[in-house]
Amino acid sequence: MSFNEIFNNLDHWKKLILSSTSFQALTKTKTDLLGKKGLITSAFKSMQTLSVDEKKEFGAKINEIKEELESAFSEQQKKLEDYEIASKLRTELIDVTLPSNLHIGSKHLITQTIKRIKSFYQARGFDVIDGPELETEFYNFDALNIPEHHPARQSQDTFYVKNQAGRLLRTQTSSVQIHTLQKIQGPVRMISIGKTYRNDQLDATHSPMFHQMEGLVVDEKPLSIGHLKNELKKFIGFFFDVDDVSIRFRPSFFPFTEPSMEFDCRYKKVNGNVVLHKDGDRWLELGGAGIVHPNVFKNCGIDKKLYGFAWGIGVDRITMLKYGVSDIRNLFDTDNRFLKHYK
């Protein structure tokens, strides 16, 4: 094809490009014109036989033609893309009047448990107080009457933060009680629920991260173990939907309470599940408790006479007991079958 034919056919080619009705047709036309063996490319190669002045003249014209053709290709490609999108919107339109078959999610078991605990105590006038998960040794150990030589302060039991002396992931929510007593300096009724961390190997009953609930009642009037027992019976009866709860205390040791004790509830097995019952033939350990040690008040800067009792329960543990979960790892997996079952 001569140069004049190339120049005279510009309008014809533009019409051919703009009339393409598919990406396949458009691609073929582009290859015929601008490909390695296309007409325009061949025209550039044919200029080798021209003089210098002719090369400048015809080269400029061919470049203009090439730019117009490329512009036409871009325009038509955009039209085809818009058409394809509009076509999909028409054919894939969702009929909102049809019944929905979407999976509706639900709150996780741990979230359900925490919400249930909070609602119980808030309804009874308790404050629900949060605290930092990254703590200092003072709030996590010192103020709770845990001395430096205590095993819990060793790195094999506690996660310390590298290159930050005295900083660690809290091992118990009791640290929140210290923050609260420092601030209030007096009577308080509170609970704290949150994540705690200990250097444990993950297995069916242990996890390096777990949830804990701590309760604290402080008053200027004397508080006894009888008050503590009554408080525990109310909560356990509510959480496990039991009308009457049988509780026993066993002597134990916690640095921040004196006397200290662990508390158990009577239960029986029904179809393989644990059911709390006042006439149960077995005892089930649920947590630890005790009368607040005087040193705790002293470490919080409180110099007046106060009385208090505190208790702690593993949130994951009571969740597993209530819903019949045998492996704590199931609570932190993302198995939709498990989540759907306990929806």
Q: pLDDT digit string (tens) for 1-59?
A: 556 666 777 788 888 888 888 888 888 888 888 887 788 877 777 777 788 888 788 78
Examine residue 100 and state whether it is found in any structural domain, yes or no: no
Alpha helices in the chain (DSSP H): 3-8, 10-18, 23-34, 39-46, 52-91, 109-123, 137-140, 174-184, 225-239, 294-299, 315-323, 336-341
pTM here?
0.67
**16 & 154 share domain:** no
Among 91, 121, 139, the domain-final residue is 91
CB 309 within 8 A of CB 187: no
**53 & 185 share domain:** no
**192 & 129 share domain:** yes
Residue 273 is part of a domain; what is its CATH number?
3.30.930.10
> Could you read off the pLDDT of 261-307 as tens digits, one per residue?
999 999 888 877 778 888 888 898 999 999 999 999 999 999 899 99
> Could you read off the pLDDT of 164-182 as tens digits, one per residue?
888 999 999 999 999 999 9
**12 & 50 share domain:** yes
**82 & 155 share domain:** no
Question: What is d(CA 36, CA 42) in angstroms, rounded to the nearest whole number?
Answer: 8
Examine residue 8 and state whether it is found in any structural domain, yes or no: yes
Residue 244 has phi, psi (to 5 degrees) of -135, 135
Question: What is d(CA 302, CA 215) in angstroms, rounded to the nearest whole number?
Answer: 19
**191 & 251 share domain:** yes
Share of the chain above pLDDT 90, in %: 45
Domain that holds residue 8: 3-91
What pLDDT, on a 0 to 100 scale, did the predictor assign at position 102? Answer: 66
CA terminus-to-terminus distance, the chain: 75
